[in-house]
Structure 1
Amino acid sequence: MNRYEPQLQDRASRKSVRIAGAQAQYWEYPASPVTESSRTILVVHGFRGDHHGLERVVEALPGHRLLMPDLPGFGESEAFAQRTHDIAGYAEFLREFIAALKLSNDVVLLGHSFGSIVASHLVAQHPGKVSELILINPIAAPALEGPRGVLSKLAQFYYWSSAKLPEKLGQSLLRNGLIVQVMSVTMAKTKDPELLEFIHGQHHAYFSSFANRDMLLEAFKASISGNVRQVAQKLTLPTLLIAGEKDEIAALPAQHKLLQLLPEAELEVIPGVGHLIHYETPLPAAQAIERFLTAHPLSSKASE
């Protein structure tokens, strides 16, 4: 077994809830041990990912209860039956998920990459729904801007053409192992061969776990049209940004600009890592989260 594989078998339990006519699967990881500082953290994964991607971060946060759904259409969750897979649709899913699980407004919301867009838009639309916001590798600027704009346009053509091709050929292109490998290699910054093996294995195992190509195209359009900056000034709650020094998808200069727009935020930059903080540097990310939550304890909220 790869030494980077999360060991959560004794902590995780799989559950399901029906939302907007679709069966959503989610995983619960109870705090162990439960203490006065234990919090409930709702985690939102990135584009083409599922709950597996953030399990190394979960493993590094044993003192908190974490809830991780597979977003509709990804992983083991059904696609929306009568709702578009866009930012508004996914934000509404999160609102309904919080309501279905009867989560109180002291829940912490954490989003990675595409999940940062969904999480921030939920908070902007429903202030007071959560108490703190944590964004890992946040999408701080439009994807078609800046030095990565050309690559975003190429990706746009890739998803568009895959949707226009005959069904079998389009599905084959979207799930092509070589393309998945190129994406994985491009994002990884580590030189550790065993960690690289783990990362590539994760992408090959879960990057193609989507319901169908139509919902994937909808979600991709959402991923390049939405960003956190669009709603930054409405995010008045305590917010933690965790950025990678070498992130080429959510570049560091954009993170600093985003920080200036947020009313109550702090930025943690992890050196030597890019867009895969959740795989490559989960412990520093978890340590930053712990410091942030310690600075915003439940006891202080109760006294306000």
Structure 2
Amino acid sequence: MASRVPFQLTGRYAELNKWEVIQGPGDARPTGLQIIEDEGLVGSMGDKVALVTGVSSGIGPKTVQALAATGATVFGTARNLDKAREALGSSLLETGRVHLLFMDQTDLASVRACAAEFRRQSPGGKLNILVNNAAVMKTPEDRTKDGFELQFGTNHLSHFLLFYLLKDIMIASATPEFCSRVVNVSSSGHRYGPVRFDNLTLQGEYDGWAAYGQSKTANIYMATQIDRLYGARGLHGYSLDPGSFINPNLQKYAQEEVEAAKRSERMTKYFFNLEQGCATSVYGAVSKELEGRGGLYLEGASVAGPVPADGDPVEYGYGEWAFNRENEERLWEISKKMVGVE
């Protein structure tokens, strides 16, 4: 299929994402490790510290693996630490540079405890990179332990609180050569719906995809507002769509949609493997192309523009409500109140 005009991606990997050339998992699109190699960062970031949430399945472990190749100290969070250890593998954990922390993102008390433990363990009290990766998708209607709608609470509020508790050390860790970075793993699913300020719990009108879309839009708003508030102090925010890949844990409530996607020639071309699926997160975390620039939406290890008006669900680009200063500022203040900071 011919690419739409104008093409929505810019950067060194943009051309590899054109619909004329993509061929599905394992094609020429970069892996996370390839980005580390292309950036000349293998073993060169021994003075940096990164934190990645949700490392027990999916692209989380691959993100840790790629960042660890830089020589940085990398912390990963998980609710099931045994599962995370298995996913990461003993060879990675035995390097002494990769550490696991318990965090249940349905419980804000657990988020607070994790942030405190990270402060105790982080070398030099640093945090240069925070990748907010963990997520749930299209869950049945439910609440977190603090009473929030499950997807909004897990995907947005837990990450908002984690960042808020660590933002001071992220600002302090920034250098003129490498600004600190918050990388929020959103999704093209943000185009399913905006943040419903009139009914954040979707009480009485719950829909799993609408709730997921709201939480993923919130990820974008948070990253953009971080950049607005702290960019001048050396802390930048990015949001991204990692692309589509098979992750049975994340997609357990969306099996019908996954099976339908497998039958679509267009979708099967767009799919990544997990090594490629982490690439945009890694790009956001380390790419020199982004240094000093923030508030960007990333896709295909590139900077993305707006989705074409006639774009389908897998077309590159962000949705019409993805950038809205009034809503970004509004969500920020609401989120502070919801998680109990300031």
TM-score, normalization by structure 2: 0.36
Normalised by the length of structure 1, the TM-score is: 0.39
